[in-house]
Structures are given as C-alpha cells and as structure tokens.
Structure 1
C-alpha cells in the first residue's frame, strides 16, 4: 500500500510557488516501511552476531568486564582480569551481563544489546523524521542508519557509542515533544533517558544534551516554555537514577594511585584530563584535523554523497527564511571582512588548534552581536530565529546537536567513533534534503544537477572500487586459499593500527586469495549498483533509485562482514584459547598450568574471556590496567621479565601468549628455552617444557 507524500504540507515551502514543484512521489505505508527496516536489520546486523569471535582489545576487554559482573554479582565496580576497571560508566556492561545470563558467554550475547540498539536507533530516526518531514524522509532515514558504513563498522566491537546515540537522541526528541505540549510523562521520560545516557558514557552526555537544549531554547524562542521541562522535579528524578551508582562506586573504590580513588579517576582523569589530552596514562590519540573531518565522508558512506545536496537545500531554506523574517546577517561589510580574514588564517594555518579556536570564538562573538542587534530592533518577545513549524524546530535542534558534537571532538582528544552520536541527526538532515531535492528536481535544474553529481560520483567510485577488486582477484587467481590471512599480510603498520581499517593497507596478492568471496561480492555490487541507481534517478524513479543505492551498500556490508570473518584469526586470539582448552581436554597439559600474556592485556583479551579465567600479565601493567593495579587489594598478576625468567621451567607448566608486537622481545628473552604449541597470524602460544 502506498500513500501520498505530505512534505509540502509539513514544512515551509522552498519557493513561493513550491506546491507546483512537488511531484507527489509515493512512499510505502508504515507497516511496509517498518518491514523493510526490520528485514535490513536482520540481514545486515542480526545475521552478523555469530561470527567472528570476540576481537582482542576493546571488544573482549569490555566483554570480560560484563562477564565479571555476572560471576561476582558486583554490579558497582567493573573488573577486567581481576583488576578494577574504573574508566567506564556501567549501563552497557549491565546490559551485556544480562545478555550473558540469558544466552551464555559467547559472541552472540556480547553483541546482542548494541545490535538491538542499532534497530532502535533506526526506528527512532524513522519516527522522528516521519513526524517532522513525512514518510519518505522517514524511510530514507531508517535505511540510511542501517546501511551507513560507520554504523556497521563501529558496532562490530563492544563499545557504548550506539547506546549513547540512542539515548541522547531519544532525550532530545522527548524534549521537543514536551515543548510541543506533551504530557508530564513525556517530560519525566526525557529526564529518565538522560540519566541512562549519563550511566552509559558519563558527563559528556550532559554536555551534549545540555548544550544543544540551551542553545536551541535561546535561538528558537521556546525558552519562555522552560517550565514545561520541569527542571526542578526533573533534576531530582535524574539524580535518583544516575547518582546512586556514582556514589557507591566512589565509596567502594578509594586508596588508588597517589591516594586517588574513583571520584578523581572517573571525573577528573577520564573527563577533563582526557578532553585536554593529559589523561593518565597517555594512551589516546588525536586524529589530525583533515582526517577527523574527511573521514565522516567514509563513516556516512554512501549517504555522504548527498552532502552537496544538503548544502544546496540549506541555502534555499536560508534564503526563504530571510524573506519570511526580520533580516539577519545583513551587516554584510562586517561578515565579508570576517570571511576574508578567516579564509586567510585557514589557508595559512589549516587545522592548527589555536587558530581554529580563534576562528570559532570570533564566529560566536559576531553571531551573538548580530542576534542581539536583531532582537533590539524586533518587538518584545520576538524569537531570534523565525521558527514556526515542527519541521523547522527539528532542523534547528538537529543542526545544533550535530554541530556541537563535531566541534567538541575536533578540540578534544578523539577516536574515530566518538562522533557516532552525530550520525542520526546528520542522516536525518541529509535524507530530508534528498527528498526536498527529489520533489523539486522536475522543475529546479539546480536540485536535479546536484543529485546527478552525487550519483555520478558514486558511479565513478563504484567503477574504481570494482577495478581495484577485480585487479586483486586477478593477481590472486592462482594462489591457494589460506585460512589464516594474517600470515600473508605485509604488516606495514600504516597509522600504527590505531585507525579503523588500517589493515587494508597490509593486503598482498597472496592475501587476496583468502578474500575471493567477499571481494567478488563487493565487486559485483559496485559494478552494477551505482550505475543502476543513476539510471533510475535519471528516469525520475526516485524511490527506486534510493533503494538501489541502499541495496548496493547492503551487499557491500555483507561482503565486509565476510571479510571480517576472514580477518578473525588475526584480530582475535580465540583460536589460542581453543588450543589451550584442547590440550587440557586431552590431558596433554594439566588444568593447573599457568596461563600468561606478554604485554598489555589488550593484546590478547579474548583469551581470558574464552578460557573463563583470569591470566597473569608479563610487563603488562599499563593502559587500562594501570590505575586499578595501584589499589592495595589488586591480585598479584603483574610479572616482570625477571619474574618470568625466574619461574620459567619451574613449578607448574607455563603457557605464554606472545602477540606479534612482542615476538622479538620474547625471543631475545627466552631464546631456545621456549616450545611453540600454536602459531597464528604472527601470534604464538609457547610453553616452558615438552608436552607429555
């Protein structure tokens, strides 16, 4: 069943005669649209819950923290490998602990909560976009969330970003509903969801929600309705939910490094010092400015291709907004001089922090001056911006919220996935701009041009990706399939593997033999999908064209998941744990054998998870283990090289996991006194005596 698209009734017109521009394209009814979204989620996300095994580093580390909750019944203090793990808020680990209780300790259970979070994020995007912009934008938004590269990539690992995104966007949606005349239940739901967001990621949730809300109320004129948000009783409800865990964690974790406890480490070290890049230990990077901004084109691919369409539609909306309201930014000499000065600074000192901060502060100052001048010349009570419809309110709120996140992390220390909470608002704005351009394309040549440019770019990129994959497949056509792709990689260390997908730079001709299936699937998708989408777009079959673009991305993500499984032996040490269990089951080694990891626990964090027990760490008192190791009741799991040499070959059998990064160090340390039991992707399991 199909319904007419009501965008022209829901939002301010593009032009005075906008009703003539709408082609009245149809969109599926809600049950059909939800079935499409559910099907995409099942194919892309649910089907990928079973493989590969938990990855080393953050994935298995966080799973170990959730595992400890269930086994110890301690729901206050997180532990990893027996050591206090105080840097994270608890809600994601509580959810995974519950999942472990229901489904056992496995990959499926570890990733199920965040996979459900993706589905809920898509449904929230659909609901919000449907109310603000209509069913076609709603469908596009849900599809875009489920088929964006970044959403897929950053939910392959157990990190809290998708849950934080869901809760913050839900809180903002409820805030807008409350201001629109919602019942008290809506307002208190907002405060409840905000408290859960703080329990997911800490104080940064308050920064994003509070900053976006205050600026929105200031600009929209809705500040006169501030009592609707029930700030006093709502804050009390917020504290009732969010405060108990923080208080208990502080009371139970005192006497750590230099006398510091949870309160200092969690609030000062993990929030303020992390933002300033002075966190202890110094184990976090900051992406260069050009990468921080440009990589969002990758994380929002393929929908980022419509960024020029968003800019064009925003310009049209701004122009119409000026016609419908009191003039703003009409002090053109000031803005021209500012633009010239800032342009020169950026060209000379691109992405240099002090200059960027100067640019930002100058822009804010001039903006406030202009807004204040406008308010002085307007009637009392006039809003700073001319906001009339729910669509305009949504656009303003999402723009402020996404901009705040991007600017915040452009100054802070950051990882690529930190801006995940901005994905939903950006995708809503992108897809809405696409719908407006589709409706206007029949008579507006500029809208038609920018849509065609997006598809032309996608087609060229598709041809380039197809050519690269076809070349790789051709060069590897005679190579034998090797299950362990890690043995065939170049290990060039591009980005020191701190960037997502850094291992793609390690691919060799021989390693492509292990990727024949996913490479062939992706090649076929990019060979035909982008061109077909463009053809459908030229035929003005807009819904079908967007669907083809989503289908291309879906097939690519399926191929990417298959490739991730092939990379599994290199990214996870589950096979090492399985080898240890096999030797124990065969009575080849005793179950009393001492299992040790060389270096930081992140190198092999999947081993203690799959073994179901804590392990000793040799020269591993670092990064996430450092602060917790300073508490007086920390177990004696930290060994030095001297301790390893003193006990090697004596007492119970020693089993030592050695990551690729430490093989040379251990070879120099132990020499011929090691017996290799298993080796995969450069990682080794060695022992100190022959097997019986």
Structure 2
C-alpha cells in the first residue's frame, strides 16, 4: 500500500500544478471558494458577486482553506481532491483487509488509484471524490459496528458523522447513498427489526448536529433557498425538470457500457463477480459483506440510470466495485489463474492494437504542421452547444489532424500501454502476480502522465487564462470586462483577473436565480448598455467565442480593436 500511495502522490499531486483552471464548472466553483474566503462568509456562496445557492459547501470550505495555505492558484483548487484520491486508495485497502484479506485490500487499492475514471474525473473541481470518501467511511463504519461487538458498536457514530458530511458535500444524495444501502441490506437479510439497534436516536443527533446548522443558516440568510436548493436542485433535477436546463442524460447503453472504460483496465475482472444470488442470504459475514457492497454499488448505478446524469455521477460506485474486484482477484491468484492469464493476454493485445492505431494516425498526419493554437485542428461548437452539457463533450471536437500537435503524449501513451501490459502478461505467465499488478499500475500511471501533458496542450481550449493575462497587462483604473453570453463561457477570466464580469445577455444558467436578489450587482447588460460603455471614456474589454463574434459585431455596430485570440475565443477592446 505504501508503494501505491507513493504512486498516487506522484501522479495525482504531481499533475495538480498545471494546466490552468478551466472555463465552465471548474473556474466557477473555484471562484465560489475564492469569494467565500474574501467575503469571510462560509454560509452563502457567491460567484461574480451573485449568490450561488445550488451547491453544498463542504468542498468549498476545504478549497478556501487550501487557498489560505497555498495561495489562490490552480494547485490550491485541486489539492483537496488529490488528497481525497489518496484517501480513497487507503480506504479501499483498509476495507478490503478488514472484509477479506491483505491481498484483497492491495488489489482494491490498485483498482481505485489506477482506473481511468479516478484520474479522468478529478481534473476539475467537482465534489465526487470528496463525496465518495465520506460514503466509504460511512459504510466501513456501519459494517464494522454491525458485525462488531462491545466498543466496536461505537463505529455507528462514525457512520452518522460521515453521512452528515456527505450531505454537506453534495446534498440529500449523500443521505440516500448512506441510508439507502443500509435499509436495503437489513431488508434483504431479514434483519429490518434490528434497525433500532443501530443507535438511531443518539446517532441521529450526531447527524443533525453536523448537517443541519449550515442548511438553516443558508435558509435564514437567503430567501427562497429551501425551494431552490431542495426542490429545484434535488427533486426537479432528478426527474429532469430543473430550471434552467443546462444538463443532460446519458443514453441507457452508453451509461452502462462506459463503466468498462471508467474501470479500465480492471473492468476485465468484472465477469469474476457475476454469480447467481442465493436466497435466503447465508448468515456468514463474508457473504453478507458481498451483498452489502453490491447494494451500495447498485443503488448508485440504478439511481443515476433513472435520473439525469453526467459521466462522473457514478463515481461513488467505484469503491464497492473495487473492493469486490479486489476480493475476486485475490481469490483468482489461487483458484483461477487461467482467467488472470487470459485477462492480461487480452490487455496486452489491446495495448498493442492501441499503439498500432496511434502510430497509424500519426503517420497519416505526418505532413500536417503542428498548430500554434490547437483549436485550428478541432471541430468546435459554441460553449452552450448540447454536446458540452456532458463533461467529456470536448472529446467530440477531436479530429485526426489534432494528433499533429499531440504526437508526443500520444506516442508516450501508446508505448506505456503496449509495453506495460505486455510486461504484466509476462509476469502473470510466470505466476509473479505482484509484479504483474505493479506493471499494470505503472502502465496506467504513465498513461495518466501522458494524458496530463495532452491536457496542458488543450489549455487554450479549456481555459481562458491567456486572455486573462492580456487583460491584466492592459488594465486601467475603472476599466470593464464584458462577456458575450453566459459567465461560464469564460469563467477562468474572472478567476485570474480578480475582476467583476459584466454579462451581455448572460442572465442565464447559474447566474439566473441569484440575479433576482436585491443586493445583486448590476452586471447584466443588453446591446444598448454595451454601446454606451463602448463609446464612453473608460476602457472596455469584450470577450467572445469566435463562433459568435460575427453576430456580436453586427449587433454592436461599432468599431473594435482586436487584442488577442486563443482557443477559438477572442478579446476585443474599444481603445
């Protein structure tokens, strides 16, 4: 486990310094934590001076604390999530050791720290990793108390406390994913009558003492909070009726099949888990723990299959699946080594085919000159296009010509998988299972590092830090920054300039509800407002996507001076 944690620190914390904070949710959430710190207000979130009431506060508290320690920068934004990744690996190991064996714990930690989903969905500031830590602690505490005796029963209080922090991390879903598996477990095992024995009164008091104060304070300080937060952001979001509609739902088959990608390369072990359930459930502890883990994972997966969903919403299902896989892999070392050999053989073939595919794409585009701005090789759409309502929508922008600018990371990734998986197969053939596992983890680590370098190459597309630098260099007293459209389109400019942003036709999405409070700053403009600013005596910076620039200039109908372009976005000024 020490080796895995060192691996995690190198890969996850080492890649937290760059690239810049991205536009959209990443910079919007980072800005909310920054304004929390600057306003000394840990109750009401603000973004660009507007109340931002749709999120629970725990992650923002941690990022604000990180700002205090490291300064206001992208590393501080990512640090709490990176620590959460390391905690998840350690928790998976601890859970696996307690429930099964040290070997199962080792495999569970390896799955958690090196699966694609873990790396992919910790690149931006979202609460999934922190929520999953809270859920894992809660379920580990519950099971230790349930199967324990004497002082072990005190772990029930850990369950209630962790459930409360899960609620403070992502709202009522934290309660659903902690209490739900417990109730189903007691129901299926015929032990629902033991519910009063889990210290409902004293444990409930612990839960309420932690979870309730922030909700009450937020409600007292913000009129309409309870309806907006609990009805609009929870119930209406679940049934797909939340306003404004800036979200989407994965198609049924994509939702399920993509988990083979999120858990890759360990998803090839999933067939080891599928056994017909036995009813009534046997009373031995290990069988009941297996059932509990399946109920935990199943509740998360089925809930988001019904609800609106993003690709990363099922992140809380990774720990129970990783622990089950850890148990299956530990058992396979002694009883089913042939399956292991086939699994690593298939992965070695996939690594080779991936390398050949990357090589072919790069060869076919060898005459394409690398672009100074990678957006020249992308098939971009406006930021409010439907495909970007999914977190990985920018993948659909890629074209074969993109690899002219990404040849280095692409070749590195191809070699990492081809060589790493081949080496793992060789070790597995020689029945050196530990080295085979380390080879797989190392291959994924090198893949993640290559993906990180590619991510840095995409910074002009995903972030507007370069344009923020241009503004900072030309800033004058009383200057103004105007966005053409919603705030999220260029939210990193607000983060990196520390200036309030005026929005042309931008009273939408995350800004809409908070804009109706009496203390909301007058930042929402129409074309006539922008024209008055443009011909005034103060400098105005106008930010727009290039796709929308022609229509903007036509409606503005005033001369503009170009300042800079980057990643399909432009910065104009009036003087």
TM-score range, shorter chain: over 0.9
Residue pair 1:487, 1:680 contacting (<8 A) in 2 also = no
From 259, 265, 272, give the equivalent of 1:296: 259
Q: Does 1:164 align with 2:131?
A: yes
Find the counterpart in structure 1 of residue 344 from structure 2.
455
Distance 2:167 2:547 in 1: 36
Q: Does 1:433 align with 2:433?
A: no
From 107, 111, 118, give the equivalent of 1:144: 111
Find the counterpart in structure 2 of residue 366 from structure 1.
none
Q: Secondary structure at the match of 1:418?
A: coil
Deviations 1:486-544 (A, max 9, x none): 23223378972334444344334543232122111111112222222223222222222
Q: Does 1:473 align with 2:362?
A: yes
Find the counterpart in structure 2 of residue 218 from structure 1.
187
From 395, 414, 432, give the equivalent of 1:523: 414
Find the counterpart in structure 2 of residue 568 from structure 1.
459
Residue pair 2:157, 2:203 contacting (<8 A) in 1 also = yes
Distance 1:562 1:411 in 2: 36
From 101, 126, 140, give the equivalent of 1:134: 101
Q: Does 1:488 align with 2:377?
A: yes
Distance 2:102 2:416 in 1: 27
Q: Which structure 1 residue ranges, 4+ long, deviate > 6 Å from structure 2?
A: 492-495
Shift of 1:396: 1.3
Find the counterpart in structure 1 of residue 12 from structure 2.
45
Deviations 1:255-279 (A, max 9, x none): xxxxxx0000001111111111010
Residue pair 2:88, 2:133 contacting (<8 A) in 1 also = yes
Q: Secondary structure at the match of 1:678?
A: strand
Shift of 1:480: 4.1
Deviations 1:287-311 (A, max 9, x none): 1101111111111111112112222
Distance 1:454 1:296 in 2: 17
Distance 2:336 2:206 in 1: 49
List runs of 5+ in structure 2 lacking aligned partners. Answer: none
Shift of 1:678: 0.6
Q: Secondary structure at the match of 2:282?
A: coil
What are the equivalent positions in structure 2 for 1:379-458 lying under 5 Å apart?
A: 384-389=280-285, 391-441=286-336, 448=338, 450-458=339-347
From 630, 633, 654, give the equivalent of 2:519: 633
Find the counterpart in structure 2 of residue 58 from structure 1.
25
Find the counterpart in structure 1 of residue 198 from structure 2.
229
Find the counterpart in structure 2 of residue 177 from structure 1.
144
Find the counterpart in structure 1 of residue 68 from structure 2.
101
Paired residue total: 571
What are the equivalent positions in structure 2 for 1:306-317 lying under 5 Å apart?
A: 306-311=269-274, 314-315=275-276
Across the aligned residues of Structure 1 and Structure 2, the Cα RMSD in angstroms comes to 1.9
Shift of 1:69: 0.7
Distance 2:161 2:398 in 1: 47
Q: Does 1:275 align with 2:211?
A: no
Deviations 1:21-68 (A, max 9, x none): xxxxxxxxxxxx2x2122111221010110001000111100000001
Shift of 1:251: 0.8
Shift of 1:563: 0.5
From 466, 482, 486, give the equivalent of 1:600: 486
Distance 2:173 2:487 in 1: 27
Distance 1:87 1:500 in 2: 18
Residue pair 1:309, 1:451 contacting (<8 A) in 2 also = no
Residue pair 1:522, 1:555 contacting (<8 A) in 2 also = yes
Change (3 A) 1:492 1:665: closer
Distance 1:475 1:578 in 2: 36
Change (3 A) 1:270 1:505: closer
Q: Does 1:263 align with 2:226?
A: yes
From 136, 156, 159, give the equivalent of 1:190: 159
What are the equivalent positions in structure 2 for 1:331-350 lying under 5 Å apart?
A: none
Distance 2:455 2:246 in 1: 26
Q: TM-score, normalised by structure 1?
A: 0.80
Change (3 A) 1:143 1:128: same
Distance 1:567 1:548 in 2: 29
Residue pair 1:178, 1:228 contacting (<8 A) in 2 also = no
Shift of 1:185: 3.8
Shift of 1:478: 4.4
Distance 1:483 1:103 in 2: 32
Of stretches 645-654 and 149-158 in structure 1, the one that deviates more from structure 2 is 645-654
Shift of 1:664: 3.2
State which structure, 1 or 2, has the greater radius of gyration over its C-alpha atoms: 1
From 80, 104, 107, give the equivalent of 2:47: 80
Residue pair 2:503, 2:525 contacting (<8 A) in 1 also = yes
Shift of 1:476: 4.0
Q: TM-score, normalised by structure 2?
A: 0.95
Shift of 1:600: 0.9
Q: Secondary structure at the match of 1:159?
A: coil
List runs of 5+ in structure 1 lacking aligned partners. Answer: 1-32, 255-260, 323-327, 329-383, 443-447, 585-589
Shift of 1:614: 1.6
Find the counterpart in structure 1 of residue 426 from structure 2.
535
